[in-house]
Chain A
Amino acid sequence: MTAPYFIAAADDELTIYERSQPGRRAFVAPALDVPEKPLDELLPARLRRAEPPRLPEVAEPEIVRHYNRLSKRNFDLDTGFYPLGSCTMKHNPKLHERVAALPGHARLHPLQDPSHAQGALELMWRLQDALAEISGLPHVSLQPSAGSHGELAGVLITRAFHEDHGERRTQVLTPENAHGTNPATVTMAGYELVKVATDAHGNVDLDDLRAKATDDVACLMLTNPSTLGLFEHGIEEIERIVHGVGATLYYDGANLNAIMGIARPGDMGFDIVHFNLHKTFTQPHGGGGPGAGPIAVSERIEPYLPRPQVVRRDGSDNGADVTYDLDYDRPKSIGRLRGFQGNYGVFVRSYAYIRSLGAAGLREVSEVAVLNANYLLARLRREGVLQYLPAAYERLCMHEFVLSGGPMKHELGIKTLDLAKRLLDHGVHPPTVYFPLIVDEALLVEPTETETKETLDRFAEIVAEILREAREDPEIARSAPYTTPVRRLDEAAAARKPVVRQVLVAP
């Protein structure tokens, strides 16, 4: 038997291309019901490709089996604990998939006339309204596609704001422990990055900030609670310093899950906020997207928001003639950042979530997220884990906390990476590792509010068990994992000679 694009695979999991056999198919085309014209007349041969694309030739049963088998080689949130810091891996309610799939939402064309998309526009308007209330900033654009896209929108808006006031500023400040997307956004938006130091308590170093906050600074991008899981003690002073030099204050919403209904970025003086609907508002992460990164802004920043904006128009005094529309007439807008109106399917899910929880429920989310994080930290302490993995800062944490694996490395001979890999054998997704960069051998743990006390107890016990094991034989963790579909992979080789597609040989 010949295989069309056969690559000798000793491995147990073939690719879809390696399962291909000439003549197999899943798709049956609808019958040609119009008079057929010669292909050469419709598309001359000189414009046509010589060979059909070498896509797989596989019948439906094998496609289904292939991808179902692949799925079993993934660890997922619906199966186990996923305390990945800064990612807010909370439960994704099943209702959301059902409502997002309703034909009125799922099969709505993005260029449908607003008069025929009133339900969608009203949903977007209500979501904007809710996000404005949660953030304490009155105006929202849902357009950005992810957190980093929201950051780009926010910094471009900052530029438009300054330019509109006749100013050309060249620098953007971020704390040295910022998410990588912040500095990358700064460069992408045409600014020079200036890093602000962190003080001994994990806060922004106010003296360093004062020294660097000059008339050349356009913006400070800040995460609060910070990437260290700590609320910025000096936020009020930070606000005074930043606004004192005429810069804007940008809130990276990655950690919003800690403070909903308790404190609001707008009330802290932030001008621009981005939300991660795929973190705080339960859009499933999908193995790396889709997400959505709406932004909320203050009154003075509103004119620069991307267009179009969803608006509510009331033709009467009593709300009897309310319609929703897309407003393109925004002369100071930075313009579009993508096609159409944003990731609407994500909006449906996040709106459903906010409706399910209401004000009390959202506050409870943050309370229990912070309770769970502090409890897990306390349990790890009780298990003796902090002897080897001390908390980077001895404070109460917010929704996540950072441990340093430095002592573990020196005293037990295993690195944070080894601990993470050994956790895989225990059926737990490891916390975020080696971030923030300013903590040696960092481990960033975010349990989220949807985990039970029992799960947290078990995690603390597992970590303690791995440390006990390492005391006796560090080699076990160093060579972990053992039970996963593949074991440690050679990432250096992959980067040295990248193989980023399957080389297909036509039959």
Chain B
Amino acid sequence: MSGYISATDADRREMLATIGVSSIEELFDDIPASLRLGRPLALDGPLSELEVYEELKALAVRNTSTEDELTFLGAGMYDHYVPALVESIIERSEFLTPYTPYQPEISQGGLQAMFEYQTAICELTGLPVANASVYEGPSAVGAAAYVAKAARPAGRRIVVSHGVHPHARETLKTMAHSWGIEVVEVPLHDGVTEIPSLGEDVSALAIQQPNFLGAVEDVEALAAAAHAAGALCICSCDPLPLALLRTPGDCGVDIAVGEGQTLGNRLDFGGPSFGFFAATEALMRRMPGRIAGETRDVDGKRGFVLTLQTREQHIRREKATSNICTAQALNALAGVIYLSWLGRHGIVELAELLLQRTAYARERLHAIHGVAPLHDQLVIREFAVKLDAPVEHVVARCRAQGVNPGYPLGRDYPELADGLLVAITEQRTKAQIDRLADVLEGALSRDLEAYEEVKA
């Protein structure tokens, strides 16, 4: 008997008698005999708790985590410090184990936290409405496109910048194919999106700030280009740089989405994290997902409920604005706790620290023989360089020294096969950046030598 089940043999006998059947088998009589499995599942176990712990630990140590190497990997998820209070709070049973708050009277904690979270996302994005989370960053771009499709029903195309995260572009294409909508890419020029001239059949222009190459985009000009064609502007944003940047709302963006991992969530090999989704007032009733709203109880006391539920699948069914049900409430809670921890001025200080250290790292790397800027655009927390030697080879050499220098851009951008994307967080000190520069220089010089020898 599993330790997660209480029913003893005596319990079972008594329960069967109460039901009026003689065996548990009988309870399954509705399943035709021809469909019964008739053998045990081919699964090992059961194992004791300590055996499972040991097995999961043995698997964990075969991964090289950010504790095991000095990493400059980013490209959508970043090794930020998660403060202790976040884990202490989100591990509380009262936040960890309830379902979606369908009974608001006994869910005020979760609902108020959603309301506080929505407020924080509105502050960061400069847009008036945010939902209580979607799955994660790339699918949030697809979710935004679905809203744009409904808001611009005549649209036949969605235009996406080549600087949007490759996973987001691919997700968008996967989803839009089934809507009969074509996804067209607009190219980058010196690292930033060319201002496109859009036709009237375009329902949305999707961009990213900063873009995948780390470059700060002219969001206002891009949003204006979208609006000139009657299209919506969707902007996928990295939330921490929004502490410094003009808000998407201020720049004319209609829907701001993004990956929330950097807000108090661990890397977890890619999830669970959360996606945020904010929009203009005009799009409020087209938004996907849960939205917490303020109201009063019968005694006049302030309280919170899930509101605008007539948008949602459990009410509106095939006419719903999205099929999303379970989202990422606990991860969004981590997000608002983290933002409260950073606070109004702390988030600016953190973003400025990223800005300064990234500028230093960029300058330090550019000074290395064999490294050149991939673009000259402004950057905040991530930048791209060109290497004079095969990138995967250089990365492997650096890793042999315990340094993961970044993400080889050639994996997603064949035209940037010599590109390396380097990310900085507050956990990467000047000394570590100096080490990256030294190791990269060493790897390059050996590589360049070998390369020149082969050429000779």
* Cα distance, A253 to B286, chains bound together (Å): 28
* Cα distance, A450 to B93, chains bound together (Å): 17
Check if A246 is an interface residue, CB within 8 A of chain B.
Answer: no
Binary interface encoding of chain B residues 164-176 relative to chain A, with 1 for a CB under 8 A from any of its CBs, else 0 = 0101101101110
Interface size for chain B: under 10, 10 to 19, 20 to 34, or 35 or more residues? 35 or more
Binds A, one of B127-135, B226-234, B442-450: B127-135
Binds B, one of A204-212, A359-367, A402-410, A468-476: A359-367
User: Which residues does chain B contribute within 8 Å of A243, judged by CB atoms?
Assistant: none
The answer to whether A339 touches B269 (Cβ under 8 A) is: no
8 Å CB interface, B62-92 against A:
62-67, 71, 73, 75-77, 79, 83, 85, 87-89, 91-92
- A–B Cβ pairs within 8 angstroms, 18 of them: A26-B343, A48-B244, A63-B85, A63-B337, A67-B89, A70-B113, A119-B59, A133-B43, A180-B314, A261-B37, A287-B333, A289-B330, A292-B272, A339-B168, A352-B56, A359-B43, A367-B27, A424-B105
- Known A-B contacts A152-B323, A343-B272, A356-B45; the reply to A486 vs B91 at CB < 8 A is no
The answer to whether A53 touches B52 (Cβ under 8 A) is: no
A sample of 10 more A-B contacts (CB under 8 A), given A107-B66, A184-B322, is A54-B344, A74-B110, A76-B97, A107-B65, A110-B270, A285-B98, A344-B270, A371-B15, A424-B106, A450-B6
Binary interface encoding of chain B residues 322-346 relative to chain A, with 1 for a CB under 8 A from any of its CBs, else 0 = 1111111111010011011111111
Binds A, one of B155-163, B189-197, B348-356, B365-373: B348-356
* Cα distance, A179 to B343, chains bound together (Å): 41
The answer to whether A97 touches B299 (Cβ under 8 A) is: no
The answer to whether B340 touches A16 (Cβ under 8 A) is: yes
CB-contact partner of A77 in B1, B40, B98, under 8 A: B98
* Cα distance, A48 to B380, chains bound together (Å): 12
8 Å CB interface, B241-268 against A:
242-247, 250, 259, 266-268
* Cα distance, A413 to B96, chains bound together (Å): 37
The answer to whether A498 touches B307 (Cβ under 8 A) is: yes
8 Å CB interface, A279-297 against B:
284-292
Check if A342 is an interface residue, CB within 8 A of chain B.
Answer: yes
Check if A505 is an interface residue, CB within 8 A of chain B.
Answer: no
The answer to whether A429 touches B103 (Cβ under 8 A) is: yes
* Cα distance, A163 to B365, chains bound together (Å): 49
Candidate in A148, A151, A155, A290 with the most chain B CB atoms within 10 angstroms: A290
* Cα distance, A351 to B37, chains bound together (Å): 22
* Cα distance, A106 to B312, chains bound together (Å): 32
The answer to whether B123 touches A504 (Cβ under 8 A) is: yes
User: Which residues does chain A contribute within 8 Å of B302, judged by CB atoms?
Assistant: 9, 11, 13, 486
Binary interface encoding of chain A residues 53-79 relative to chain B, with 1 for a CB under 8 A from any of its CBs, else 0 = 111111010011011101111111111
* Cα distance, A498 to B128, chains bound together (Å): 11
The answer to whether A53 touches B347 (Cβ under 8 A) is: yes
User: Which residues does chain A contribute within 8 Å of B165, judged by CB atoms?
Assistant: 339
* Cα distance, A464 to B91, chains bound together (Å): 36
The answer to whether A484 touches B326 (Cβ under 8 A) is: no
* Cα distance, A378 to B14, chains bound together (Å): 12
The answer to whether A368 touches B355 (Cβ under 8 A) is: no
Check if B455 is an interface residue, CB within 8 A of chain A.
Answer: no
- Known A-B contacts A27-B350, A287-B329; the reply to A54 vs B268 at CB < 8 A is no
The answer to whether A338 touches B346 (Cβ under 8 A) is: no
Candidate in B16, B61, B177 with the most chain A CB atoms within 10 angstroms: B177
CB-contact partner of A102 in B60, B173, B292, under 8 A: B60
The answer to whether A289 touches B296 (Cβ under 8 A) is: no
The answer to whether A494 touches B47 (Cβ under 8 A) is: no
CB-contact partner of A53 in B4, B96, B344, under 8 A: B344
User: Which residues does chain B contribute within 8 Å of A24, judged by CB atoms?
Assistant: 343
- Known A-B contacts A71-B92, A453-B15; the reply to A358 vs B31 at CB < 8 A is no
- Known A-B contacts A71-B95, A184-B323, A500-B307; the reply to A42 vs B355 at CB < 8 A is yes
Count of chain A residues with Cβ under 8 Å from any Cβ of B?
207
Interface residues of A, dominant DSSP: loop
User: Which residues does chain B contribute within 8 Å of A499, judged by CB atoms?
Assistant: 293-295
Binds B, one of A229-237, A312-320, A384-392: A229-237
8 Å CB interface, A326-378 against B:
334-346, 348, 351-352, 354-365, 367-368, 370-372, 374-375, 377-378
Min distance, Cβ A309 to any Cβ of chain B, angstroms? 14
User: Which residues does chain B contribute within 8 Å of A481, judged by CB atoms?
Assistant: 105-106
User: Which residues does chain A contribute within 8 Å of B386, judged by CB atoms?
Assistant: none
The answer to whether B323 touches A75 (Cβ under 8 A) is: no
User: Which residues does chain A contribute within 8 Å of B85, judged by CB atoms?
Assistant: 26, 60, 63-64
The answer to whether A358 touches B47 (Cβ under 8 A) is: yes
Check if B456 is an interface residue, CB within 8 A of chain A.
Answer: no
Binary interface encoding of chain A residues 98-139 relative to chain B, with 1 for a CB under 8 A from any of its CBs, else 0 = 111111111111111100111110110000001001101000
User: Which residues does chain B contribute within 8 Å of A435, judged by CB atoms?
Assistant: 314
Check if B11 is an interface residue, CB within 8 A of chain A.
Answer: yes
CB-contact partner of B296 in A99, A180, A493, A500, under 8 A: A493
Check if B309 is an interface residue, CB within 8 A of chain A.
Answer: yes
Min distance, Cβ B38 to any Cβ of chain A, angstroms? 10
The answer to whether B290 touches A288 (Cβ under 8 A) is: yes
* Cα distance, A482 to B361, chains bound together (Å): 60
Min distance, Cβ B354 to any Cβ of chain A, angstroms? 10
* Cα distance, A485 to B94, chains bound together (Å): 14
Min distance, Cβ A13 to any Cβ of chain B, angstroms? 7
- Report, nearest first, the 5 A-B pairs whose CB atoms are least far apart: A358-B45, A104-B60, A340-B270, A286-B330, A110-B270
